[in-house]
């Protein structure tokens, strides 16, 4: 029996592999006795099968590059021809210069090998892009660029092998001005970050992950630190209720209710729907009635200033703090933020609470004494981390390391990153979430999960996933008020499923 240290990491089915990590996984598989030629044969078989599931036989052009991606293409062409498809194959470079597994599979192709040029696309009703995989590190150029540009301009659907040529498998960004635009991408063993980060997600089209015989055990040696945000990542941390429990067992969220009451109300109700046992809103007397009308389940407490907030923090039962939505940007609000971070309680900072740290981020991060989650959108992120550049995964991970906080960088491809280097990319958010107030609901979901004792990274990741699922359940015409109840339904569904997994 394998030792515990050789077991695949937690949430292994949701792991993402960088280009370098996938290369190590390939090499580990070969070292474990899986022939590289067999891996290539399985990759080509899987691509051909994915094509045949989606399309009927039609004139197909397979574009092959000079490396292993091209070797996959030779297998695809052979498999499709054996199935009765009319196939042409074009190669970038000289067939005699192919080596290793690619040369072995090229030798099995009995049809002509044509020189790569845009004119070949005429008459093709399906194009297979096996030019370059995720390992490409430079922009497309020459004949490859000309053919990809022509394919993008044409009407024939394109199937990409591993990633569309010209796309970074790590960042999801084109390596230059051009990348292939696929209707279908078939990759192997595990997804890569570039499959989920925009614009890569859009350029990949439908994504299929094929099992080509790489053993799961290689993951232990690769030790990746990125996941797709999915139940496999946080299933073990789901908030569960005992039959002999009461509301105080599930935490008490304190929301800083500011003068823009809509945002605070959305966040507070979402915290309740996430399962917090109690939720209190600290509000000025002038705003008390507005908050009280948000839900009879909310507790509204008088709080006129930072001193009043500090007095509320003397109640040790308030174990999760939420500041930012509708808070305002006064010096008094800044003092509430510092007091919250210094309390050591689980704290979520969003919106105004993040903006207040602009120009004094070192003071903000220096005040952190307990689990803290930051939920900025891109504009707010730049206020705290103006010097950080790169793709969203890289920036969120660097920000988490610098701040000592879990960072949930919001967007259509939200990234959750922890100070220890773990990160998750959320891929289930529909475009209907682009509506006023949806971010406030997300903050409340995170806070409600923190109150129930979830670790900060898992709370943020689960909340982001629930947010996307809730929007899908709510359907067209979504407004932010729909999200809390829909998130509760989504949580109920995943809890029900987890009982039997």
CB atoms within 10 A of CB 108: 11
pLDDT of residue 11: 87
18 dihedral zone (left: phi>0; alpha: psi -120 to 50; beta): beta
Say how far apart CA 36 and CA 67 lie, in whole Å. Answer: 13
Q: Which residues contact 122 (CB under 8 A, 6 or more apart)?
A: none
pLDDT of residue 500: 57
pLDDT of residue 10: 76
Q: How confident is the model at residue 135 (pLDDT cuts 50, 70, 90)?
A: confident
- Whether residue 199 is preceded by a cis peptide bond, meaning omega within 30 degrees of 0, is yes
Q: What is the DSSP letter of 432?
A: G
Pairing of strands 320-323, 299-302: unpaired
pLDDT of residue 489: 98
User: By percentage, how much of the chain surpasses pLDDT 90?
Assistant: 97
pLDDT of residue 8: 59
Q: How confident is the model at residue 3 (pLDDT cuts 50, 70, 90)?
A: very low
User: Do 4-224 and 231-498 have matching folds?
Assistant: no
176 pLDDT higher than 50:
yes
| C-beta separation of 159 from 124 below 8 A | no
Cα–Cα separations (whole angstroms), residue 299 to 222, 272, 289, 337: 49, 11, 11, 21
Average confidence score pLDDT of the chain: 96
| C-beta separation of 219 from 194 below 8 A | no
39 pLDDT higher than 70:
yes
Q: What is the DSSP letter of 171?
A: T
Task: Give the CATH number of domain 4-224.
Answer: 3.40.50.10260
Q: How confident is the model at residue 7 (pLDDT cuts 50, 70, 90)?
A: low
**Strand pairing partners for 373?**
348, 406
pLDDT in tens, 74-131: 999 999 999 999 999 999 999 999 999 999 999 999 999 999 999 999 999 999 999 9
4 pLDDT higher than 70:
no
Three-class SS of residue 348?
strand
Domain boundaries, the chain: 4-224, 231-498
Average pLDDT of 215-239? 95
pLDDT in tens, 322-347: 999 999 999 999 999 999 999 999 99
Average pLDDT of 448-463? 98
DSSP string covering 223-292:
---EEESSHHHHGGG-----TT--GGGG-EEEEE--SSHHHHHHHHHHHHHTT-SEEEEEE-GGGHHHHH
pLDDT in tens, 283-329: 999 999 999 999 999 999 999 999 999 999 999 999 999 999 999 99
Q: What are phi and psi of 324, to 5 degrees?
A: 140, -55
Q: How confident is the model at residue 467 (pLDDT cuts 50, 70, 90)?
A: very high
Q: How confident is the model at residue 391 (pLDDT cuts 50, 70, 90)?
A: very high
Average pLDDT of 242-255? 96
Average pLDDT of 397-415? 98
Kindly provide the residue ranges of all beta strands, DSSP E only, lying in 51-113, ordered along the sequence. Answer: 60-64, 87-91
pLDDT of residue 1: 28
pLDDT in tens, 363-382: 999 999 999 999 999 999 99
CATH class of the domain defined by 231-498: alpha beta
pLDDT of residue 422: 98
9 pLDDT higher than 90:
no
Rg value, the chain, Cα:
26
Residue that is written with structure tokens 């809730």 in the block: 470
Say how far apart CA 392 and CA 156 lie, in whole Å. Answer: 32
Average pLDDT of 134-147? 96
Average pLDDT of 136-157? 97
Which stretch of DSSP H or E encloses residue 332?
helix 331-342
């Amino acid at each position: 029996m394998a030792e515990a240290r050789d077991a695949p990491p937690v949430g292994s089915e949701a792991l993402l592999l960088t280009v370098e990590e996938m290369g190590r996984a390939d090499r580990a598989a070969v070292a474990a006795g899986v022939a590289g030629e067999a891996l290539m044969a399985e990759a080509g078989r899987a691509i051909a099968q994915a094509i045949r599931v989606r399309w009927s036989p039609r004139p197909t052009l397979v574009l092959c590059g000079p490396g292993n991606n091209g070797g996959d293409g030779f297998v695809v062409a052979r498999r499709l021809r054996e199935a009765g498809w009319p196939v042409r194959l074009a190669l970038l470079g000289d067939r005699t210069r192919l080596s290793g597994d690619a040369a072995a599979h090229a030798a099995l192709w009995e049809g002509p090998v044509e020189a790569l040029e845009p004119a070949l696309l005429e008459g093709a009703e399906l194009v297979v892009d096996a030019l370059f995989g995720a390992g490409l590190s430079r922009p497309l150029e020459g004949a490859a660029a000309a053919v990809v540009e022509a394919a993008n301009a044409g009407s024939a659907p394109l199937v990409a092998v591993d990633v569309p040529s010209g796309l970074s498998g790590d960042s999801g960004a084109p390596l230059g001005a051009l990348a292939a635009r696929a209707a279908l991408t078939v990759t192997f063993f595990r997804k890569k970050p570039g499959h989920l980060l925009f614009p890569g997600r859009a350029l990949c089209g439908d994504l299929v992950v094929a099992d080509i015989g790489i053993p799961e055990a290689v993951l232990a040696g690769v030790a990746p630190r990125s996941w797709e945000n999915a139940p496999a990542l946080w299933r073990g941390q789901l908030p569960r209720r005992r039959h002999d429990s009461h509301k105080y067992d599930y935490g008490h969220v304190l929301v800083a209710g500011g003068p823009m009451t809509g945002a605070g109300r959305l966040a507070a109700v979402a915290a309740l729907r996430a399962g917090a046992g109690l939720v209190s809103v600290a509000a000025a007397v002038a705003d008390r009635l507005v908050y009280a009308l948000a839900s009879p389940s909310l507790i509204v407490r008088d709080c006129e200033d930072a001193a009043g907030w500090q007095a509320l923090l003397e109640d040790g039962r308030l174990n999760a703090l939420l500041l930012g939505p509708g808070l305002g940007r006064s010096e008094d609000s800044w003092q509430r933020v510092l007091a919250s971070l210094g309390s050591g309680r689980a704290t979520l900072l969003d919106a105004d609470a993040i903006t207040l740290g602009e120009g004094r981020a070192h003071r903000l991060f220096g005040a952190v004494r307990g689990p803290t989650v930051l939920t900025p959108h891109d504009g707010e992120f730049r206020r705290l981390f103006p010097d950080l550049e790169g793709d969203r995964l890289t920036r969120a991970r660097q920000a988490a390391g610098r701040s000592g906080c879990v960072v949930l960088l919001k967007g259509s491809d939200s990234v959750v990153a922890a100070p220890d280097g773990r990160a998750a990319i959320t891929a289930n958010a529909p475009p209907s979430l682009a509506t006023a107030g949806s971010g406030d609901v997300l903050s409340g979901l995170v806070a409600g999960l923190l109150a129930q004792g979830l670790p900060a990274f898992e709370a943020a990741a689960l909340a982001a996933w629930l947010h996307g699922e809730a929007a899908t359940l709510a359907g067209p015409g979504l407004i932010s008020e729909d999200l809390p109840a829909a998130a509760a339904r989504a949580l109920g569904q995943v809890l029900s499923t987890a009982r039997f997994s």
